[in-house]
Amino acid sequence: MKTIEKPLFQEFHIDGVKHISPADAYELLIAKQAVLIDVREEFEISFEYVPIENVLYHPMSVIMERLPYISKNQNIILACPGGVRSSKVANLMNREGYPDVANLDGGYSKWKSLGLPMQINLKPDKTDSSCGCGCVASSPCDTEGGCC
């Protein structure tokens, strides 16, 4: 997996977390050489999602419960709207012994700006307004329709 030590498309960074460009991530996903783990909360996924077969949904709010079900024998790309939550989960997975983990540099904001596939749901489920990071989606940390 082709990664870089410091992100190019986002400001948030944690030392030791590797990053992968959206274009490189897309190539690996299409070739089925990696899985993408979307760490957004369920309500966010109800608005839009990546229409690729090897995308898994493990919200940051429950990631500790889900780790036993995520194989360490695969390339893992973590994603969220801007790369903050996914960087934090990448850091956690590094500490838990996952050898091939990378944050999607710039998150879905950069992914979409490059025209990579994103399916929009015209009738989203709006039952929850938090992203799981402790904020409310209408608060100042709301960035381009998502939090963090």
Range of the domain at 77: 19-142
pLDDT at 123: 64
Does a structural domain hold residue 30? yes
pLDDT at 128: 45
Give residue-wise pLDDT tens across range 115-130: 999 998 876 555 444 4
Does a structural domain hold residue 1? no
pLDDT at 5: 97
Q: What is the mean pLDDT of the chain?
A: 87
pLDDT at 125: 53
For range 136-144, the mean pLDDT: 43
Does a structural domain hold residue 3? no
Does a structural domain hold residue 8? no
| CATH number of the structural domain spanning residue 127 | 3.40.250.10
Tell me, yes or no, if the pTM score tops 0.85: no
pLDDT at 144: 43
Does a structural domain hold residue 2? no
pLDDT, greater one: 10 or 147: 10
* Number of domains comprising the chain: 1
Long-range contact list for 138-147, CB < 8 A, 24+ apart? 143/81, 143/82, 143/109, 144/81, 144/82, 144/109, 145/47, 145/81, 146/40, 146/44, 146/80, 146/81, 146/82, 146/108, 147/81
